[in-house]
Chain A
Amino acid sequence: MAEGAMANDAFVVFDRVQKSYDGVTLVVKDLNLSLPKGEFLTMLGPSGSGKTTCLMMLAGFETATHGEIRLNGRNINTVPPHKRGIGMVFQNYALFPHMTVAENLAFPLEVRKLDKSVRDEKVKRALDMVQMGAFAGRRPSQLSGGQQQRIALARALVFEPELVLMDEPLGALDKQLREHMQFEITHLAHNLGITTVYVTHDQTEALTMSDRVAVFNDGRIQQLAPPSELYEAPVNSFVAQFIGENNRLMGTVTEITGETCVVRLDSGDIIDAKPVNVSKVGDRTQVSIRPERVETNKARLRPGVHTLKAEVTEFIYMGDIFRTRLKVAGHDDFVIKTRNAPDQIRHQPGQMIEIGWLPEDCRALDAP
């Protein structure tokens, strides 16, 4: 659906938005973004990248220094937060400690002056939705982290907003619970058909939950794409580095032929790559190759491709996969991952091997 999104039927639009706190530096630089209704969009980036500021501007807690934010076609720059009708789940849930679970949920309905009977009905439905019906009378402090998370979600949804914002909502949960909640949240969002903007610095979360991911760095969106595209076709070295594990080699382009190019690494070795951010011979480039796309079995490589000599420095058994660290072209942090299969070779440290890859798996990106 994301691919089909058109600017004119966009539900949320950031139009050339800039934000500065101190009048000297911009924390958000020229942000353009549009979301269609029903999309689950994740803003991913390191801390300080501007993603949370964007979320806060959308929620109305920060004002844009320049540009326009539109919700459902309406400019909301001057609309106060409580009139935006946006549901929000906060990092630490922000459940009101002096109210019971039911009172927390009833709060948004109360301020909307709904009748008590309607309120009770909606609260009950929202609690059932997150399987917390039995906890209505408890105080937030009597709930576990996961339960609080569900209540926070229910509270953000109980007044049936069309847009829900989530600010690193799973950060405080342990790994297993987090994975479970990721699943639940995505399901709930899709089932209810609500538009979700989700902020996280956890790339796994971003990849598993989102329709699209906006990778933020330095106040800009570096890449806005569905998870698979983000992983497999990062458009620059930042995205390549930030999403998933990644081997980096620096070099200079010596030859470009259509979909492939030849890069001479700084160590003098020659490799094949796919030109992405390089346009001419002589460009400096950082090539990026995923560990699981490196091939050690020469038989499986396309004939004629360049290979590199590598020395095994470490072999780590990780159960489902093997992780082997190599010294390649002067770098000793080159990692390859191989599936734990019966025929898979277990390399010994000190062993010299030869590695290679398909040219399209190795992306010649910008040199940072």
Chain B
Amino acid sequence: MTEQTADGLMLAADGKPLKQSLNRALRRQKLRAFLLIAPLLIFVLVTFIAPIGDMLFRSVENDIVADTLPRTVAALADWSPDSGAPPGEPVYRALASDLLIAVAAKTHTQLGTRLNYEDSGFSSLLRGTGRDVDDMGEDVGKALVAVDPVWDEPVTWTNLLGDPAWISAQADWAKAGDKTPEPPFVPSAAAQKNLPLTAAAYGDFARVMQTVKEDSPTEKRPWNTVAVSLTEDLKANPSAAAAFGADWQPRLSAVVAAEQGGAIPAADFMAAFTESDKAWGTPQPWEVIKTFSPRFTSGYFLNAVDLKMTPEGIAPRSEAERVYLMLFLRTMVLSLVITGTCILLGYPVAWLLANLPARTANLLMILVLLPFWTSLLVRTSAWKVLLQQQGVINDLLVWAGLVADNNRLVLINNQTGTIIAMTHILLPFMILPLYSVMKTIPPSYLRAAKSLGATDWTAFWRVYFPQSVPGIGAGSILVFILAIGYYITPELVGGAKGVFISNRIAYHIGTSLNWGLAAALGSLLLVVVLVLYWVYDRIVGIDNVKLG
């Protein structure tokens, strides 16, 4: 029972506003409906939306350079490749620091792989330099030890640079000898203030020792970069020793004195890098690092359309390096041809299916579906047996005298092979939608057309065909979209000229591991499909598509 309040609000029997009651009733229904679709929704999200999102992200993601070489990237900010000269010593220093950490974590080879995509040779460049980087600045380290052997002792460094609280905590930990991790190294305030470079370099070293190598910094001599940092700190601030305890003052002063006396050489990382690999003495590798240092890159997408990013901007790749646009084009053209042949071959079959008596139609339907029940590889191999030059079809043609024995047709390992095999494989996807649409076209339309004076052809073309167009549309979309994604069949029967862009994607996923490029190619393929879908919608209208 409903009533109305003074302001015209309808009330339900319990006196609450009718709208509110209705909403409550509907909410339960909506919730139940949502719970029903929830499994599918989650399934689609997890298995479809998330991977596509991941793919799109991968195609632009480029954290590795900035993560692996943070100091180098920062130091390169001031350098311009236009100078035509390699960057200055600080950049080499930064790279040495970065590489020491990366080598310990073994990430320099991953970075090498990444940059090798952009510049061939980077992989071995980084692997080779990774082997040498430990020894860079060795002369400084040795000179320091020559001044005072105490610098060869790992604890010298922890005591000089470590926070007193950390030193005692570390000592307690070492005494306890249990399996808990060592307390993380903390530099002292004095060291950070007076020996900033040393504190930072040693901090990196200690962190890597503790986390990556699971060693104690008290037991490992620090990298040469730490020694180099110490000499530089002392050069910049010869009175730094004053900030440290009485024990330290003579030691540090000795270093200052040695330095001033020329007993400690100036570190030359540039020379060390150039010695490791001549390439470091040229602007080339630095250009590459700088160009690909941002966390997001268009590099993969550019590569996917045969362009490349250079310091001067986007440029086309050289003739020999262009392959993807050609493959995209070939994929589209061949897929269209396959769709076309599927229409030509499938239309009459679907018509027969829709018009034969049920029993015969069922038998024919089984024949149509037969390819669905055989594995893709078996079918493809069967085509090989049929189509090859010594194969069944050529044998028949030779036997029938249609083809000379020494001039057998090349039906496989080329585009013809791809078209034939894929047409066969995809034919059911054309026939089934066509059939389901044709099944709904009553024969009386054709009769009506004929009774109105149309010839068989006119009746078909003006009356039957337009009504079967939704089936052609649905079949074509299915076949085309499936076709551009195929790669096993083209790989096996397509030879050199019948392979698709998907084969390249599979290659980059499975063999070259260039997942970024694979993702970019995949994303482009997705965009192409969406664009074609949109064009199709504009021309034919997507509501005109009937799948059944």
Q: Do chains A and B touch in the complex (CB under 8 A)?
A: yes
Chain A residues with CB under 8 Å of chain B are: 59-61, 80-88, 90-92, 94, 96-98, 107-108, 111-112, 155-156, 159, 165
11 additional A-B residue pairs with CB within 8 Å, beyond A82-B453, A111-B455: A80-B450, A81-B451, A82-B451, A87-B451, A88-B447, A94-B442, A94-B444, A98-B467, A107-B449, A111-B453, A112-B453
Inter-chain CA distance A232–B454, complex, in Å, is 44
Q: Is the CB of A90 within 8 A of B454?
A: no
CB of B369 closer than 8 Å to a CB of A? no
List 28 A-B pairs, Cβ < 8 Å. Answer: A59-B447, A59-B451, A60-B450, A81-B447, A81-B450, A82-B450, A82-B451, A82-B453, A82-B454, A82-B456, A86-B451, A87-B451, A87-B452, A88-B447, A88-B448, A88-B452, A90-B444, A90-B447, A91-B444, A92-B442, A92-B444, A94-B447, A96-B463, A97-B467, A111-B452, A111-B458, A112-B453, A159-B453
Chain B residue nearest to A61 (CB atoms) is B447
Inter-chain CA distance A59–B458, complex, in Å, is 18
Chain A residue numbers with a CB within 8 Å of B459 are: 82
- Rounded to whole Å, the gap between the CB of B357 and the closest CB of chain A is 11
CB of B497 closer than 8 Å to a CB of A? no
Chain B residue numbers with a CB within 8 Å of A90 are: 444, 447-448
- Rounded to whole Å, the gap between the CB of B107 and the closest CB of chain A is 64
Chain B residue numbers with a CB within 8 Å of A60 are: 450-451
- Rounded to whole Å, the gap between the CB of B233 and the closest CB of chain A is 86
- Rounded to whole Å, the gap between the CB of B482 and the closest CB of chain A is 28
Q: Is the CB of A88 within 8 A of B451?
A: yes
Inter-chain CA distance A85–B450, complex, in Å, is 10
- Rounded to whole Å, the gap between the CB of B456 and the closest CB of chain A is 8
Inter-chain CA distance A90–B451, complex, in Å, is 10
Chain B residue numbers with a CB within 8 Å of A97 are: 467
- Rounded to whole Å, the gap between the CB of B309 and the closest CB of chain A is 52
What number of B residues sit within 8 Å (CB to CB) of A? 19
Q: Is the CB of B451 within 8 A of A98?
A: no
- Rounded to whole Å, the gap between the CB of B135 and the closest CB of chain A is 81
CB of B295 closer than 8 Å to a CB of A? no
CB of B466 closer than 8 Å to a CB of A? yes
Chain B residue numbers with a CB within 8 Å of A98 are: 466-467
CB of B34 closer than 8 Å to a CB of A? no
Q: How many A-B residue pairs have CB under 8 A?
A: 66
Within residues 27 to 85 of chain B, which ones have a CB less than 8 A from any CB in chain A?
none
Inter-chain CA distance A82–B450, complex, in Å, is 5
CB of B445 closer than 8 Å to a CB of A? yes
Q: Is the CB of A94 within 8 A of B445?
A: yes
Chain A residue numbers with a CB within 8 Å of B452 are: 82, 87-88, 107-108, 111, 155-156, 159
Inter-chain CA distance A44–B444, complex, in Å, is 21
Chain B residue nearest to A84 (CB atoms) is B451
CB of B213 closer than 8 Å to a CB of A? no
CB of B193 closer than 8 Å to a CB of A? no
Chain B residue numbers with a CB within 8 Å of A91 are: 444
Inter-chain CA distance A94–B463, complex, in Å, is 11
CB of B462 closer than 8 Å to a CB of A? yes
Q: Is the CB of A96 within 8 A of B453?
A: no
Closest 5 pairs (CB-CB, A-B): A108-B452, A94-B448, A88-B451, A94-B444, A81-B450
Chain A residue numbers with a CB within 8 Å of B447 are: 59, 61, 81, 88, 90, 94
Inter-chain CA distance A97–B441, complex, in Å, is 10
Chain B residue numbers with a CB within 8 Å of A84 are: 451
Chain B residue numbers with a CB within 8 Å of A112 are: 453
- Rounded to whole Å, the gap between the CB of B306 and the closest CB of chain A is 44
As a 0/1 sequence over residues 376 to 396 of chain B, the CB contacts with chain A under 8 angstroms (1 = contact) are 000000000000000000000
Q: Is the CB of A108 within 8 A of B442?
A: no
Chain B residue numbers with a CB within 8 Å of A156 are: 451-452
- Rounded to whole Å, the gap between the CB of A110 and the closest CB of chain B is 8
Q: Is the CB of B444 within 8 A of A82?
A: no
Chain B residue nearest to A56 (CB atoms) is B447
Chain A residue numbers with a CB within 8 Å of B449 are: 96, 107
Chain B residue nearest to A96 (CB atoms) is B463
Chain A residue numbers with a CB within 8 Å of B451 are: 59-60, 81-82, 84, 86-88, 156, 165
- Which of B444, B445, B452, B458 has the most chain A CB within a 10 Å cutoff? B452
- Rounded to whole Å, the gap between the CB of B442 and the closest CB of chain A is 7
- Rounded to whole Å, the gap between the CB of A267 and the closest CB of chain B is 49
Chain B residue nearest to A98 (CB atoms) is B466
Chain B residue numbers with a CB within 8 Å of A82 are: 450-456, 459
Inter-chain CA distance A60–B456, complex, in Å, is 13
Chain B residue numbers with a CB within 8 Å of A155 are: 452
Chain A residue nearest to B448 (CB atoms) is A94
As a 0/1 sequence over residues 104 to 118 of chain B, the CB contacts with chain A under 8 angstroms (1 = contact) are 000000000000000
Inter-chain CA distance A107–B454, complex, in Å, is 8
Chain A residue numbers with a CB within 8 Å of B450 are: 60-61, 80-82
Chain A residue nearest to B469 (CB atoms) is A98
Chain A residue numbers with a CB within 8 Å of B453 are: 82-83, 85, 108, 111-112, 159
Chain B residue numbers with a CB within 8 Å of A86 are: 451
Inter-chain CA distance A159–B450, complex, in Å, is 13
Inter-chain CA distance A111–B454, complex, in Å, is 6
Chain A residue numbers with a CB within 8 Å of B463 are: 96
Chain A residue numbers with a CB within 8 Å of B467 are: 96-98
Inter-chain CA distance A98–B468, complex, in Å, is 11
Q: Is the CB of B444 within 8 A of A107?
A: no
Chain A residue nearest to B459 (CB atoms) is A82
Chain B residue nearest to A95 (CB atoms) is B448
- Rounded to whole Å, the gap between the CB of A4 and the closest CB of chain B is 30
> A96 touches which one: B445, B455, B456 (CB < 8 A)?
B445
Chain B residue numbers with a CB within 8 Å of A80 are: 450
Chain A residue nearest to B465 (CB atoms) is A98
Q: Is the CB of A107 within 8 A of B462?
A: yes
Chain B residue nearest to A81 (CB atoms) is B450
Inter-chain CA distance A76–B459, complex, in Å, is 21
- Rounded to whole Å, the gap between the CB of A196 and the closest CB of chain B is 14
Inter-chain CA distance A155–B467, complex, in Å, is 19
